[in-house]
């Protein structure tokens, strides 16, 4: 397999030429597939006016108009069922086009059915099976220009129908039937996107007064993307990365600081590092990018926050992907950081000059917990209501400074407009900026402290070193693999969202804390909120922070191995802390699963 040297220059030009061809191809693909115009639902400027007089009233039943309505076969089951419910229950009064009980609509019925009030079925002496329609009551139109104005969106309409319709027997419709009817009415109103299943998690995004652009199905594009990335990952694995020759710019920069010409192979050994630190950096980058993208659509105002999230997840092309990526990266970051912390303590790597970096890492842990909590609150839906109230009220219990801290976080006497704005600013700016600074400092210190803790050169069993090319290659590989996993998870499992918090919010709610604070929720059941909700978690942090200062540490020649003898006490302490958290979390979950 030795190539003659004279050939070396020719393949190069060939490669560049092919690259050019590929680039051209890619641009064509990009232009033709991705820049496709988003088809829009026809806005509904002129639905048939409600008062259109039928020139010649038919004397008997207009059977055609009383037929079961026809729904395009490619639409959702929900809409089809809705048309039947509407036909059976609503249409007699609200009309076949949603025009309400107009004279024109009454004419569609047989003569004998037009005098309902005089024969008594809907009059004041109605028989038991009949029901009363007061003569002065106008039966409103449910579709048409300027109709349904009292309802902002499909969620409002559904809630009203569920609570008040049918008029003669409110509450007769099930929740599901109400959604079906809502979907059908909105299709009469010409604002319902096709192939769109209404539910509590997307109905607030569907307006009643103007149509939203028809959402497209992202899944095929997403699968293609994931597939291509997977192939690229296979390609990366198949290459022998160690022989890669990536050109670096002459002038050294921060990237060179992180990737010295060579590092000991021991420092890049997966079974020692678990790859957790690098993975955390990658997840932070994903969070940063997806977070910026979410900011383009998120509206930090109580009435709009949850609605804008529903818009992102159910209407914006690839919006669900972006949000799911952000959500799952945040969850994964919590786990990966915990693993990283455990690795550092259980290998005693935080000792001596590395203890500052250990504290920086701990600081990032706090920042990530706060970022997770503020990000969770930004949903501003029914799911976060109690976590928000409990979380902020906990601040109040802190002696002396509690009320000031509450002011700082909430910005008012109770969670409201200004608190959402504050949480937003904390989340996207202050905490994120702190995170960027600490993360940069942390990875800078890793190299400054001599890289990942391994034995001194003479005591190493394996003295091989790997090049920076190899290191970068491995990093790219891990990023691609993690990226594929994230893409898969984000395609399959949507991030949670519930109905927006409104004035008329109902009494169904989820009072469970986000999973990473379940242990605090469990502790809070024990009694005094300050003691268990603030002091106890702070004690955890203090214990972790004093490890490198007050407890015995490893010595230099114990570096680079799991469970060294030198810091046994610290290891035991951390394992106990970890187990406590896990048990508390399980306790918080178990009672409800037993029910």
Enumerate binding residues for another protein (CB under 8 A).
Answer: 1, 3, 7, 10-11, 13-15, 18-19, 22-23, 26-27, 29-30, 33-35, 38, 43, 45, 205, 207, 209-213, 221, 224-225, 228-229, 231-232, 235-236, 238-240, 243-244, 293, 296-297, 311, 315-319, 321-322, 480
Contact between residue 539 and residue 523 where contact means Cβ atoms under 8 Å apart: no
CB of 244 or CB of 485, closer to another protein: 244
Contact between residue 574 and residue 505 where contact means Cβ atoms under 8 Å apart: no
CB of 134 or CB of 235, closer to another protein: 235
CB of 13 or CB of 118, closer to another protein: 13
Sorted by sequence, the CB contacts under 8 Å of residue 301 that are 6+ apart come out as 417, 420, 421
Instruction: Give the nearest distance from C-beta 41 to another protein in angstroms.
Output: 11
Instruction: Give the nearest distance from C-beta 24 to another protein in angstroms.
Output: 11
**Tokens 């922070």 belong to residue:** 545
Q: What stretches of 165-292 adopt beta strand conformation (E)?
A: 262-264
CB of 144 or CB of 415, closer to another protein: 144
Instruction: Give the nearest distance from C-beta 210 to another protein in angstroms.
Output: 4
Tell how many helices (H) and how many strands (E) occur in the chain: 24, 2
Report the run of H or E that residue 357 belongs to, with start and end: helix 355-377
Instruction: Give the nearest distance from C-beta 192 to another protein in angstroms.
Output: 15
How buried is 127 (Cβ within 10 angstroms: 0-12 exposed, 13-18 middle, 19+ buried)? Answer: exposed
Instruction: Give the nearest distance from C-beta 313 to another protein in angstroms.
Output: 12
Instruction: Give the nearest distance from C-beta 187 to another protein in angstroms.
Output: 18
Report the run of H or E that residue 332 belongs to, with start and end: helix 319-346
Alpha helices, H only, 378-503: 385-396, 402-410, 417-425, 431-448, 468-492
Instruction: Give the nearest distance from C-beta 26 to another protein in angstroms.
Output: 4
CB of 226 or CB of 559, closer to another protein: 226
- Residue 521 sits at φ, ψ, to 5 deg, of -60, -40
Instruction: Give the nearest distance from C-beta 3 to another protein in angstroms.
Output: 6
Select from 512, 519, 496 the least CA-distant residue to 327: 496
For residue 405, give both structure tokens: 């801290």
CB of 224 or CB of 526, closer to another protein: 224
Report the run of H or E that residue 465 belongs to, with start and end: strand 465-467
Contact between residue 368 and residue 362 where contact means Cβ atoms under 8 Å apart: no
CB of 211 or CB of 435, closer to another protein: 211
CB of 132 or CB of 495, closer to another protein: 495
The Cα angle at residue 500 between residues 428 and 299, in degrees rounded to 5: 35
Do you know the residue count of the chain? 595
DSSP 134-147: -TT-----SSSTT-
Instruction: Give the nearest distance from C-beta 42 to another protein in angstroms.
Output: 12
Q: CA distances (Å), 11 to each of 22, 25, 210, in order? A: 16, 20, 59
CA distance 406 to 412: 8
Instruction: Give the nearest distance from C-beta 503 to another protein in angstroms.
Output: 23
CB of 229 or CB of 589, closer to another protein: 229
SS3 466: strand
CB of 27 or CB of 119, closer to another protein: 27
């Amino acid at each position: 397999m030795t190539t003659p040297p004279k050939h070396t220059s020719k393949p190069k030009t060939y490669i560049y030429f092919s690259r050019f061809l590929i680039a051209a191809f890619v641009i064509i693909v990009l232009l033709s597939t991705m820049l496709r115009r988003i088809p829009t639902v026809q806005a509904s400027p002129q639905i048939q006016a409600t008062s259109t007089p039928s020139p010649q009233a038919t004397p008997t039943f207009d059977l055609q108009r009383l037929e079961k309505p026809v729904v395009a076969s490619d639409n959702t089951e929900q809409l089809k069922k809705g048309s039947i419910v509407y036909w059976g229950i609503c249409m007699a009064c609200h009309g076949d086009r949603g025009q309400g009980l107009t004279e024109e609509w009454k004419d569609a019925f047989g003569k004998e059915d037009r005098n309902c009030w005089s024969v008594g079925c809907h009059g004041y002496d109605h028989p038991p099976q009949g029901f009363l329609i007061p003569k002065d009551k106008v039966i409103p139109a449910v579709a048409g220009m300027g109709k349904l104005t009292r309802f902002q969106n499909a969620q409002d309409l559904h809630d009203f129908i569920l609570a008040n319709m049918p008029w003669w027997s409110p509450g007769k419709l099930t929740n599901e039937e109400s959604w079906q009817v809502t979907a059908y009415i909105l299709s009469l109103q010409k604002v319902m996107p096709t192939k769109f299943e209404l539910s509590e998690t997307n109905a607030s995004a569907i307006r009643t007064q103007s149509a939203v652009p028809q959402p497209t199905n992202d899944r095929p594009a997403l699968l293609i993307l994931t597939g291509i990335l997977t192939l690229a990952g296979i390609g990366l694995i198949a290459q022998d990365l160690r022989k890669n020759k990536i050109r670096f710019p002459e002038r050294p920069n921060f990237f060179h600081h992180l990737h010295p010409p060579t590092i000991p192979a021991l420092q890049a050994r997966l079974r020692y590092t678990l790859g957790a630190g690098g993975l955390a950096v990658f997840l932070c980058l994903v969070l940063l990018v997806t977070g910026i993208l979410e900011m383009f659509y998120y509206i930090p105002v109580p009435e709009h926050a949850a609605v804008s999230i529903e818009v992102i997840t159910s209407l914006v092309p690839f919006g669900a992907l972006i949000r799911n990526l952000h959500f799952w990266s945040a969850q994964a970051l919590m786990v990966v950081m915990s693993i990283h912390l455990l690795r550092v303590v259980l290998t005693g790597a935080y000792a001596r000059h590395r203890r500052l970096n250990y504290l920086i890492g701990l600081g990032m842990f706090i920042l990530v917990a706060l970022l997770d909590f503020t990000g969770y609150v930004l949903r501003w839906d029914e799911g976060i209501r109690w976590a928000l109230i409990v979380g902020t009220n906990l601040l109040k219990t802190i002696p002396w400074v509690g009320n000031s801290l509450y002011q700082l976080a909430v910005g008012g006497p109770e969670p409201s407009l200004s608190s959402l704005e504050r949480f937003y600013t904390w989340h996207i700016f202050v905490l994120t900026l702190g995170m960027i600074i600490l993360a940069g400092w942390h990875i800078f210190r890793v190299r400054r402290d001599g890289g990942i803790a391994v034995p001194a050169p003479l005591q190493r069993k394996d003295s091989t070193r790997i090049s920076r090319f190899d290191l970068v290659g491995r990093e790219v590989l891990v990023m691609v693999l993690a990226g594929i996993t994230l893409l898969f998870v984000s395609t399959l499992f949507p991030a949670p969202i519930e109905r927006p918090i409104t004035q008329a919010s109902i009494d169904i709610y989820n009072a469970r804390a986000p999973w990473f604070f379940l242990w605090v929720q469990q502790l809070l059941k024990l009694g005094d909120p300050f003691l268990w909700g603030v002091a106890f978690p702070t004690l955890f942090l203090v214990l972790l922070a004093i490890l490198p200062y007050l407890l015995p540490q490893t010595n230099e020649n114990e570096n680079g191995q799991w469970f060294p003898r030198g810091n046994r006490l610290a290891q035991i302490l951390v394992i106990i802390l970890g187990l406590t958290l896990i048990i508390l979390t399980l306790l918080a979950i178990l009672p409800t699963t037993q029910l």
